[in-house]
Amino acid sequence: MAERRRQSSRREVTRRQACALAWPRGGVMTEPITMQVFSDYV
């Protein structure tokens, strides 16, 4: 029983670490937004 709890706890730590890595540091998750740049090369 204790071993199962330890394994479950380890899985939870791994999951949280994976989530932390996916989150941008110091940033806020935002949807991409498209900017049109009207331009010419001359």
Answer yes or no whether residue 25 interacts with another protein by CB under 8 A. Answer: no
CB of 19 to another protein, least distance (A): 19
Using the rule CB under 8 A, which residue among 1, 2, 22, 36 binds another protein? 36
Task: Give CA–CA dist 4/6, Å, rounded.
Answer: 5
CB of 12 to another protein, least distance (A): 29
Task: Give CA–CA dist 22/14, Å, rounded.
Answer: 13
- The distance of Cα 28 from the centroid of its chain, to the nearest Å, equals 10
Residue ranges binding another protein (CB under 8 A): 27, 30-42
